[in-house]
Structure 1
Amino acid sequence: MLARLSSDVRQYLLITGNYWAFTLTDGALRTLVLLHFHELGYSPLQVALLFLFYEIFGVITNLVGGWLGARIGLNRTMNIGLAMQVAALSMLLVPAALLTVPWVMAAQAFSGIAKDLNKMSAKSSIKLLVPADQQGTLFRWVAALTGSKNALKGIGFFLGGALLTVIGFKAAVAAMAAALAGVLILSLALLKRDLGKAKAKPKFRDILSKSRAINLLSAARMFLFGARDVWFVVALPVFLAQSLGWDFWQVGSFLAAWIIGYGIVQSVAPILLVGRSGTAPRGREAFGWAAVLAVVPAAMAMLLARQYPPQDVLLIGLALFGVLFAINSALHSYLIVSYAQADGVSLDVGFYYMANALGRLLGTVLSGWVFQSFGLGACLWVSAALVLLAATVSSALPRSLESVQIEHG
């Protein structure tokens, strides 16, 4: 059946499968590390610091990785990402006495580099497989890739909690490393050579975007993901385990269900936003959806302050937040691929995901510190403020794709 598909569709399926496998291990590893070290007695801020290098190196990787992908090809950056994730998992197989905070932070640094190389490569590749005049198709392909990835990340969250309970930390990490090594071998054999390599070798100074549209969208993305992670990364799972008494299975399953639902909504975002018309959304729609999203964490914070049952507030609030956040994220993911220049596409996409990683870094650090100092309600207020900043920046996005193309020249 695969042989009857076009070359571009086969490459899309290979890229998606590669991205899926990586994402599954990435989600599982995050849950394994978070719950294992919380169980060992680490404070919320200490747990957040374990992910600090993951996010810091994600910022650097996206900035440099886009330039690297344009020079050596996206197939190579994708495979380098897979190899580094295998290395990161292997670092966690040392004896328990050697699993110190600096060592785990170093392993997370490798994992952060790996994840963002893989993601930047996958998202950039899609731009090259869809004709420029088929923006509706591009929107659907990007939404399908992003949504399916997040659904699998949710399954990874569940897998991490389940594996930690059933076979323990070390055996779980070893199994994931072996599986991902197999995916790497297949990717080396099947992924098209020189995918995404720019015709003219970009200079290192080209990593900084010169497009106003991409700069604005990147800033909005930074605030949007900071708003999610300020309460979702550390504060929420620790609150569920510590204050509500949930066990690992419950925490892992809940986070998994949220991410899976979020991914499903992302996948169908084209239908929610433009129906079946085959058209694509415009930049100004990012403002409206962000403004609506800001209401949810603010309302949750107010309900918690008025002593409403926290479990009910979190379950209902997270469902609403997940749907609206998924639409915002899917819209951003389409816009960056649409705005990016085709030649050296990874330069623009890498810059944008650098801002995405910067937002996650901001959210991760704030999640541990604000929760430890002021509680979950404060995290939600910070989240609402960051979404409002994303909406404000989004209001200045171009009204049409044609204006972006004129700016590119």
Structure 2
Amino acid sequence: MEQGLRHYLTVTGGYWAFTITDGAIRMLVVLYFHQLGYSPLSIAMLFLFYEFFGIVTNLVGGWLGAHLGLNRCMHIGMLLQIAALLMLTVPDGWLGVAYVMAAQALSGIAKDLNKMGAKAGVKLLVPAGSDSRLFRWVALLTGSKNALKGAGFFIGAALLAQLGFRGALVALAAMLTIALLLTWWLLPEGLGRIRGGAKFSRIFSKTAAVNRLSAARFFLFGARDVWFVVALPVFLYDQLGWSFTSVGSFLALWVIGYGIVQSMVPLLFRRAAPVGGRTLAVWAAILSLLPASMAGLLLYGVDAEMVVMAGLAGFAILFAINSSVHSFLIVAWSQREQVSMNVGFYYMANAGGRLAGTVLSGLIYQYQGISGCLGWSAAFILMAALISMALPEQVDSDHQSGVCG
């Protein structure tokens, strides 16, 4: 087995192990604190710092990757996640909102350090000029991550039932410790580290293509979360009469299906011209039609369950295509010595979109219902499409020049 492939499999395996714990801890917190009598709003607040610190971590994480090495960022993320898991094993009397928010903040930092290290690391494991292989490897890493995060929802619920809250946390921490030791042993030292360090000021010094792609990413993921995070589960429970178990299981299966589609996207473009700005603009425009159509059908009184189920299936496919192309382009358009800085900046925009979408999801649903959320989703996607139109069709990442602030 070639060295690059072996290291890629090691990175992917470590990322998989982390992702399972990330999905599981979210389900554990939701279910356990619901049992303790926390209100839905209080439970939602537990994850506020998780999302906020994703923005901060991605902003500085790229600089850390260039300064310390991407493998060290992955391992620091694993260590922080183990600490976050063990923090929650304290007696119930300690588990106040502020304490759990702090643990979730640690988990959010861990998640984005691990993600940045894994995704940026793939760029350095693929020979220069091998864009087709890079597309396949990034899509597989990203798609499998999303599928396993959905599986983590199931695993968290199953461990809670079998081992209890604290037993489940200890089991997850033990699994991640094994993954940490294995990847520490198998990965080369200094992956992605820039000799002489990296200037902190270069966090904000990006090519025009990276800046615009990051802005498009902000609106793309804001468009998903503006109806998916709060509005959709509440709508399924309150308006369609689904049980908590049905809602959680369905959303987990949706994430798994979305991840599987995402990993297969390179097959769609196998014989197409090189993907770029035009590709993103076209697919974003197509995606925007879906939530707009769903909103219109709901306003005209078409059966809500049928509209939502069919719409979610289509959204999973079209959103997976958009997201997969995005994830490939940020890696492909980054110079090898700048990949960690660019990926960190890009996923800061991703986290910002998720945070904005999460807040707007609750606010818009409260005043405009699910149709309003879908309308705003369509508007956000159109913004992503318009921004993508200004992107180049192809960028030679190893010979880029001319950065903009």
TM-score by length of 1: 0.92
Aligned: 1:135 with 2:128: no
Q: Which residue of 2 aligns with 1:16?
A: 12
Question: In 1, distance between residues paired with 2:11 and 2:108?
Answer: 19
Q: Which residue of 1 aligns with 2:208?
A: 212
Q: Which residue of 1 aligns with 2:389?
A: 395
The 3 A distance-change label for structure 1 pair 40 and 367 is farther
Count, aligned residues = 403
Q: Which residue of 2 aligns with 1:348?
A: 342
Question: In 1, distance between residues paired with 2:297 and 2:156?
Answer: 31
Q: Is the 8 A contact 2:21 2:152 kept in 1?
A: yes
Question: In 1, distance between residues paired with 2:43 and 2:225?
Answer: 14
Question: In 1, distance between residues paired with 2:293 and 2:43?
Answer: 27
**Partner SS state of residue 194, structure 1:** coil
Q: Which residue of 2 aligns with 1:326?
A: 320
**Partner SS state of residue 332, structure 1:** helix
For residue 407 of structure 1, the aligned residue among 392, 401, 404 is 401
Letter paired with 1:85: Q
Q: Is the 8 A contact 1:155 1:260 kept in 2?
A: yes
Moved over 6 A (4+): none
Question: In 1, distance between residues paired with 2:125 and 2:402?
Answer: 20
1:17-70 C-alpha deviation (Å, 9 max, x unpaired): 000111111112223323444555555544332221111111111111100010
Task: Give the gaps of 5 or more residues in structure 2.
Answer: none
Question: In 1, distance between residues paired with 2:183 and 2:152?
Answer: 21
Task: Give the gaps of 5 or more residues in structure 1.
Answer: none
Aligned: 1:74 with 2:74: no
Give the deviation of 1:377 after TM superposition: 2.3
TM-score by length of 2: 0.93
Aligned: 1:56 with 2:52: yes
Q: Which residue of 2 aligns with 1:173?
A: 169
Q: Is the 8 A contact 1:230 1:367 kept in 2?
A: yes
The 3 A distance-change label for structure 1 pair 357 and 265 is same
Give the deviation of 1:265 after TM superposition: 1.1
**Partner SS state of residue 326, structure 1:** helix
Letter paired with 1:393: I
Alignment of 1:160-309 (within 5 A): 160-165=156-161, 167-272=163-268, 274-276=269-271, 280-309=274-303
Question: In 1, distance between residues paired with 2:387 and 2:6?
Answer: 37
The 3 A distance-change label for structure 1 pair 22 and 98 is same
Letter paired with 2:356: L
Give the deviation of 1:200 after TM superposition: 3.9
The 3 A distance-change label for structure 1 pair 174 and 200 is same
The 3 A distance-change label for structure 1 pair 109 and 177 is same
For residue 311 of structure 1, the aligned residue among 305, 311, 324 is 305
Question: In 1, distance between residues paired with 2:400 and 2:182?
Answer: 41
**Partner SS state of residue 337, structure 2:** coil
Q: Is the 8 A contact 1:48 1:368 kept in 2?
A: no
Task: Say what the alpha-carbon RMSD is for the aligned residues.
Answer: 2.1
Question: In 1, distance between residues paired with 2:141 and 2:93?
Answer: 40
**Partner SS state of residue 89, structure 2:** coil
**Partner SS state of residue 401, structure 2:** helix
Letter paired with 2:104: Q
Letter paired with 2:346: Y
The 3 A distance-change label for structure 1 pair 390 and 34 is farther
Aligned: 1:98 with 2:94: yes
Letter paired with 1:230: V
